[in-house]
């Protein structure tokens, strides 16, 4: 068996094409969605990430709003910038680029974001709405990476209703939040959350229909611990030196031998990453549509 690829790059491109049409429909009504970014300092990695967001915006017709502060900005400076984005009517949603400089109370900053403008979908209020609204429609922004994973699986026809899903990793971005989406009644999966304290990881993963690897541990999921025919989603991101080129490269949590036993695998890179970026745009467009009635 050789697994088929869950192509996040192609799927994200299709989503962006759909969003372009929706943004054009909003523009015909005089509504222009705007995505804001708050960047503190000038980390090359953070700047590259933020630039990518604004490149995505240009592709689909979303307005870009950039807020930048120096690395020595105070807590008060950063909080004031957040408030300006909260108050800016042109800003439909925004992100605060992490990490913030050492000494800044990051959680306090994130909790100051207007939940309705939370483009990442990770504000405590929005996560709480997912907890409360198991059966009801959710109109608040959704966590981008979990939403992107589910969208990717559904577009490839992977059945989630009644599926046994094992999540490896308990980070807020994926591990702790994806279960809130997967266990909603409209999806109806059964979710097991595993982590570094799990005594026997293989005992869980060998019985899973879907494995979502989001631990940030290279090769933690191997063929030996995956059920034949399972679907495996590689989310974790680590960096290691390429033995041939000597350059740093991205590696995921899924060992290459998993492709020999799984039915579907999302590659890393080229899988969940592009989907996360697409769902960030989707959150902004969806918010603009709801506000426009």
- Taking only the tens of pLDDT, the chain with its 293 residues reads 699 999 999 999 999 999 999 999 999 999 999 999 999 999 998 999 999 999 999 999 999 999 999 999 999 999 999 999 999 999 999 999 999 999 999 999 999 999 999 999 999 999 999 999 999 989 999 999 999 999 999 999 999 999 999 999 999 999 999 999 999 999 999 999 999 899 999 999 999 999 999 999 999 999 999 999 999 999 998 888 777 888 888 889 999 999 999 999 999 999 999 999 999 999 999 999 999 98
Q: Which of 7, 56, 97, 117 is catalytic?
A: 97
* Cβ-defined contacts of 238-242 (< 8 Å, 24+): none
146 CB neighbour count, 10 Å cutoff: 29
Sheet containing 93-96: give its strands across: 63-69, 34-40, 93-96
Say whether 83 is catalytic.
Answer: no
Say whether 53 is catalytic.
Answer: yes
Q: Which of 7, 16, 53, 234 is catalytic?
A: 53
Q: Which of 56, 120, 209, 234 is catalytic?
A: 120
Q: Has 170 been labeled as part of a binding site? A: yes
143 within 8 A of 172, measured Cβ to Cβ: no
Phi, psi dihedral angles at 190 (to 5 degrees): -105, 125
17 CB neighbour count, 10 Å cutoff: 11
The reported pTM is 0.95
203-225 burial: b if 16+ Cβ within 10 Å, else e? ebbbebbbbbbbbbbbbbbebeb
Q: Has 169 been labeled as part of a binding site? A: yes
Say whether 227 is catalytic.
Answer: no
């Amino acid at each position: 068996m050789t697994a088929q690829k869950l192509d996040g790059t192609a799927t994200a491109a299709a989503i962006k094409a759909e969003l372009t049409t929706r943004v054009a429909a909003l523009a015909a009504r005089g509504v222009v969605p705007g995505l804001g970014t708050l960047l503190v300092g000038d980390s090359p990695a953070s700047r590259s990430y933020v630039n990518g967001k604004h490149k995505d915006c240009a592709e689909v017709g979303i307005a870009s709003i950039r807020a930048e502060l120096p690395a020595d900005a105070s807590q008060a400076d950063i909080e004031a910038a957040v408030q300006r984005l909260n108050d800016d009517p042109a800003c439909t949603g925004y992100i605060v680029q992490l990490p913030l400089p050492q000494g800044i109370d990051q959680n306090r900053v994130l909790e100051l974001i207007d939940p309705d403008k939370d483009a990442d979908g990770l504000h405590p209020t929005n996560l709480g709405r997912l907890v409360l609204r198991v059966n009801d429609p959710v109109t608040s922004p959704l966590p981008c990476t979990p939403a992107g994973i589910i969208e990717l699986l559904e577009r490839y026809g992977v059945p989630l209703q009644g599926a046994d899903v094992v999540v490896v990793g308990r980070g807020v971005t994926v591990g702790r939040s994806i279960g809130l989406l997967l266990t909603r009644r409209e999806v109806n999966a059964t979710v097991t959350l595993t982590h570094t304290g799990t005594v026997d990881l293989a005992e869980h993963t060998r019985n899973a229909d879907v494995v979502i690897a989001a631990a940030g541990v290279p090769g933690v999921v191997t063929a030996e611990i995956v059920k034949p025919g399972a679907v495996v989603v590689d989310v974790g991101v680590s960096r290691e030196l390429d033995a041939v080129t000597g350059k740093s490269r991205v590696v995921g949590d899924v060992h290459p031998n998993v492709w020999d036993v799984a039915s579907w695998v999302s590659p890393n890179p080229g899988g969940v990453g592009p989907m996360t970026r697409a769902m960030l745009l989707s959150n902004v467009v969806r918010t603009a549509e709801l506000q426009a009635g």
